[in-house]
Every structure is written in C-alpha cells, then in structure tokens.
Amino acid sequence: ETGVTQSPTHLIKTRGQQVTLRCSSQSGHNTVSWYQQALGQGPQFIFQYYREEENGRGNFPPRFSGLQFPNYSSELNVNALELDDSALYLCASSFSGTSGGMETQYFGPGTRLLVL
C-alpha cells in the first residue's frame, strides 16, 4: 500500500509569485484535504476535494485554489504569494463513501514553503 506523497519537499519563492504543490493520495482513497501549518500552530484546513470537486473550504482567500485529478491526486495553487504564506503545507487523503463521514485522514510529509 502506497502512502501519501507530496512534492516538492521544500520551496523558496518571492512575494507576488505563484506556486503549485502536488499530492498523491494513498491507494484506495478518493478524498484529498489540504492544510496549512504555520510555525507553532496546528494544521489549518484550507479545502477538501472529493470526486474532483471542492467539497468544503476553510477561511482562506480565493488566491488559494486546488484541483483533483481522476486518479485522485491533487494540486494546491497559491497566487500572489505573501510573506505570511510561509508555512508547512500538508496534504491528507481519506476514503469517503459519501460526501462526508467519520473517515480518518492520513497525512503526507508536507511541503515547506518559504516566501521572501
């Protein structure tokens, strides 16, 4: 069974640039959630994708967007990067039998983004 993988592991960008982060979900999982974890904080929910559609969103501006592909892998795109976007970005996959439920999320190792 393949776990959740993310790429790249580290990334440095400058303010105003755009970034794309990638996530491959665990085999058998159909749902992907993205989180932002700032230093000293817990993960903050950005959004979730299920069946290639956004299926819930946290308190993040529209410049945070995503995609889910037919193989359930996913991308997180952030436009117009700001210094406060510097964080660890975590992807978590799960299996949803419906659009919600008590599924357990399994996390990838994360992408550490630094915005200068």
Partner 1 sequence: DQQVKQNSPSLSVQEGRISILNCDYTNSMFDYFLWYKKYPAEGPTFLISISSIKDKNEDGRFTVFLNKSAKHLSLHIVPSQPGDSAVYFCAAKPNTGNQFYFGTGTSLTVIP
Applying CB under 8 A, the residues found at the interface with partner 1 are 4, 6, 31, 33, 35, 40-45, 48, 50, 55-56, 58, 90, 92, 99-100, 102, 104-110
Please give the DSSP secondary-structure letter assigned to residue 26: P
The smaller minimum CB distance to partner 1, of residues 20 and 96, is found at 96
Report DSSP letters for 66-101, one per residue. EEE-TTS-EEEEE-S--GGG-EEEEEEEE--SSSS-
The smaller minimum CB distance to partner 1, of residues 35 and 72, is found at 35
Q: Which amino acid is at 3?
A: G
- Least distance to partner 1 from the beta carbon of 27, Å? 16
CA 67, distance to chain mean position in Å, is 10
The smaller minimum CB distance to partner 1, of residues 28 and 100, is found at 100
- Least distance to partner 1 from the beta carbon of 26, Å? 11
Antiparallel, parallel or unpaired: β 10-13 and 111-115: parallel
- Least distance to partner 1 from the beta carbon of 15, Å? 26
Alpha-carbon span 2 to 21, nearest angstrom: 19
- Least distance to partner 1 from the beta carbon of 19, Å? 19
